[in-house]
Amino acid sequence: MKILHILRNREELPIEIAGEQSREHEVSLLLMHDAVLWNPDVSGIKVYVSLQDVRARGIASEHEMLDYGGIVGMIFAHERVISW
């Protein structure tokens, strides 16, 4: 199962849950709003960031950036979406 976690703030619990789920499922993280300021320590999980939120905060990110159309595509590409 493909699972997408959307994080809007820095929270450890979703990272822990995503890590557990990644043992049996394909898991991705999408960082939005203030969560783009964070670089979570994850292994085996693909991390994406909102392009608009990165630009609005004037920062750089090492993660793949998605515009709003890309975010919508990610949501529809996953079977389960969890927003935190």
Domains belonging to the chain, first-starting first, are 2-83 (3.40.1260.10)
CB atoms within 10 A of CB 23: 8
pTM of the model: 0.93
Note the pLDDT of residue 41: 85
**Cα dihedral sign for 46, 74, 19, 42?**
positive
Q: And the tokens for 14?
A: 């979703």
Check residue 51 and give its pLDDT.
98
Residues of the chain with pLDDT under 50: none
